[in-house]
Structure 1
Amino acid sequence: MGDMLPVAMLLIAALGLGSIMRPAWALSAGICVYAFEQWAQVNTTFFAQNSTYLNLFSGTIVLAAVLSSFIIHGRNPLRDLPPLVWMLSILYIFTGLTCIWSIDSNISWFFYKMYLPYNLSYVFLMPLILTRTKDAQQALLRLLIVGSIVSILVLSQTQIHEWGRTIKVGGGGVQSQWGQEVHRLNPLAVASMGGHVLIAALMLNFKGVARFWQIVRWGVAFVCLAVILRSGSRGQLFAIVVSVVVFIWISRSGSKTNLRMLLMGTVGLLLFFAVASLSFGYFADAGRWNLDLIGKDYSETRVEMSKKVLMYWVSSSPVHWLLGLGSSASFDHRVAGFYPHVVPVEILGELGVVGFVLFVSINVMAWRSLYRMFVLTGDSPEERGVVACMAALLLFELLLLFKQGSFLDHH
């Protein structure tokens, strides 16, 4: 296959133009960029050596969408910004302040500055795009479109490395953000995108022209599931199943005629998981899904690393109990030498009681907002589907906080 740079640039340009005309398109840029980046690194020479340009394009698309909201569409997103966003901003600002009293300021400032452009885009700019329920509905529909395309590209035009799970890069490899040459790419980024798109496909309700998705959703969901199984990302699959099972009733229940919708949705879901089970052996490395192995892996990595962080934090001074050891202090060899992969533990140790209280408050506010939205949806299946989808996505992300990533890179 030849170099796919023209295709990659065409997709980026289309998403950029779409985000200017309809800012809701920009959500897809944020959610799909890391999976798209892996496809582009494998299939284009330019992005194999210059992957940071994709992150730059993604940030530019989000910024263009925000400016379009102000200038072209005449909105003032700042006026309608909920307290939740301000609280989240305070948490990230406090995270930066902890670099001052960190046990290793060099490490803290290094990671804070490295992830600052990403967090400016996702934490400060992205919420300005979605200020109304209608915005969220449009954004999730567009996520289905973009996510479907990216998932098909990843599944059809990448190969799994001999090591397993990871996407294989041929030739001279690609340049990582650390300037290192790598020949296999992070499977979790692809699996997370697949999870977001799969949840949107299963939870949303459609009307009018969009009813097209009522049938197509099952094909999209299957492709996304195949992407997740192929990546060997056990946590993502577990989080998806829990999130969908917990919130599918909100999407399908409600008004008089929705008993039929609930029944059809349940039957469709059962058929989907039946087909998924039959295809498991084709896409997944069955050895990784052994329950004993899963428990052993989690205990030897997440649990042990978390213990190290908490033990160091507890044995430090009362000032550190309150204000934390400092952002990214877990990387210090005296603490754990790396991040613990359990974000709540990381926040408690690095940001102290203050940061942890902010973190818990943000989650309480988020769930309270979703409950209020649910109460206001009435008999509208489309609005209920949006609320159910957002609740499932939030639960999905919260579950992933206990198995992967660090606070700063968990956008």
Structure 2
Amino acid sequence: MRRRDLVLSALLAGMPLTARAESEGLVLGAWRDPAGADHAGGFLPRDGRTPLDLKLAARAHGFAAHPTRAEVVVFGRRPGWEALVADLARGALTHSFAPPEGRHFNGHGLFAPDGRLLYATETRFEDGAGLIGVYDAADGFAHVAEFETGGRDSHDMRLAPDGSALVVANGGILTHPDAPRANLDPAGMDPSLVHLDPRTGRQVHAARFAPGMNRLSIRHLSPIPGGTAVAMQYEGDETARMPLLAVQRGTGELQPLDLPEHLRAACRNYIGSVATDAGGKVVAATSPRGGLAVFWDLGGARALGAVRIDDVCGVAPSGRPGGFILSGGQGALLEVDARRLVPKPLAGPRGAWDNHLLRVG
């Protein structure tokens, strides 16, 4: 484990959470406070209280919430060398775990529906292969299996709506921890959205865009009724006209969503996160480069509009149909109704928010 790269360091060991967790409606996220310290935790949008506040050594990225007990796993930013496990009910960190030698976490993971296993996206940095690491949540998160994803740069991951498959975004980017933010082989990119059998890792299906769109990295996912919403980032000319959102129904082909050109162009070929509302009818996507959050009506197959928020990236359902919580790297923390498009400020932690939010309960 490399100290210079460690995202969540041993300095966290034994550090208490600030209060007993209240998981109903809790929104998890990561932020950097005005003094420059990194945090991960949760706040309650209804009143702004922050019952969870973990002080970190560096930036966190994604979260995995246990489906049946008050437990959450925090992943660091890629390349991640350690993940933290927090018991939300007791308000305490329990332990940490690391990937096997020669692998690093890619910032995202999820639990199996019964909570027994945790799946984490990883990279084998010897050859850049994308992997899913499988960890036993009932045995201290011991590493028990490993699946190849059939591509490079496995990043976000979701369960298929019926729970039958792991849906994995292979971003297609060759990386190495010695140059963690560099695309080492842009011409050789081959992004894909793959469905894996969660028991065996067998690839059930793979979907790709046309060969000429091979630099369109598939990054983040959100479940929708009967399928998956897909968000992309283009590893090429910012002015190129590329689709940035798509949907997949079942194991069908990737169907790009036709955003109005002024919104698509304003996103500067980069979507940072995507979420679906509580009613399963509206998708929100954020572009930190464009300072824009856009909303799409799945039933009407049309854009509802957008709101401008500096450096916006984090997005999660608010719990109300059409409602979303949004956070930005310049400190914004807002609730937006996708049909009214009037941001409402929320109380909560103050600081520069990182990439993702996750609503628990």
Common fold by TM > 0.5: no
Structure with higher Rg: it is 1
Ranked by relative contact order (alpha carbons within 8 Å, sequence separation 6 or more), the top structure is: 1
Task: Identify, as 1 or 2, the structure richer in strand.
Answer: 2
Q: TM-score, normalised by structure 1?
A: 0.27
Task: Identify, as 1 or 2, the structure richer in helix.
Answer: 1
Q: TM-score, normalised by structure 2?
A: 0.30
